[in-house]
Amino acid sequence: MAANPLVGRKPRGWNPSTPFLLLLNGVILLGICTWDGLWGNLLTLILGLFVWGVLVVLSGVLQAGVGWVDSKGWLRPSARTALYLLPSLLFGGWVLFGPRAPQPVNQRSPSSSPSGKFVLTMPIREGRWIPTLADQSGHVLYQDDSDFPAELSVYWTWDREGRVWLYSSDTSKVYSWEQQRGKWVRTEWGYGHTREISRPLTPPEALYHPYAKVSPNQKIGK
């Protein structure tokens, strides 16, 4: 029987230890799972940590098999490294290039105005949603970082007149932004479907989460 040419041969190139590869795989998975949550969304962070724990357990099953093969001396250093890191490589590729769920109509970012002149984005920075309005060239015209912690569930949309509407399902508050004399101005419209301003403005029904949509017999406004 012919001897295995890899057994007894001194490895060439980078050949990190098994504990290092296991740690590196776990750190990569942790970064992928918690990236969004690190920017302030606590629920996303908690969910990411749960997913990370599940992936570490599943990785351990695969890596146990890799360890057995490795103990026989059947793997070259490059193949050994790739196999130990395979879970994080596969998951990272799926996150970057895999199918994505379509964004709800009332949570699309970026979202263009009906006229096509303006673009609304809703980034999360320093633990807050930041409603940001820009022109088509990307020049920022307005930002609002006052009232929207990232842990709140918020929904937004445009109406036909070019106003931006925002609904916070946690507080039920409704806001609108519109241009007045070339400047974007915020208005606190009211709560839920109850208007608290004198102007007869009505948010588009598409703004609300399905459980908060008005029933056929419910009146909107005061």
Mean pLDDT split into 10-residue runs, the chain, 222 residues: 50 76 93 72 77 92 92 89 93 82 79 94 86 93 85 89 91 93 93 92 88 52 51
Cα gap 184→133, rounded to integer Å? 9
Q: What pLDDT, on a 0 to 100 scale, did the predictor assign at position 221?
A: 52
Q: What pLDDT, on a 0 to 100 scale, did the predictor assign at position 214?
A: 56
* DSSP-derived secondary structure for 22-90: HHHHHHHHHHHHHTTGGGT-HHHHHHHHHHHHHHHHHHHHHHHHHHHHHHTT---HHHHHHHHTHHHHH
Q: What pLDDT, on a 0 to 100 scale, did the predictor assign at position 209?
A: 77
pTM given for the model: 0.60
pLDDT tens-digit series, residues 163-185: 999 998 888 999 999 999 889 99
Structure tokens given for 88: 């994080």
Structure tokens given for 123: 């980034």
Cα gap 218→222, rounded to integer Å? 11
Q: What pLDDT, on a 0 to 100 scale, did the predictor assign at position 109?
A: 84
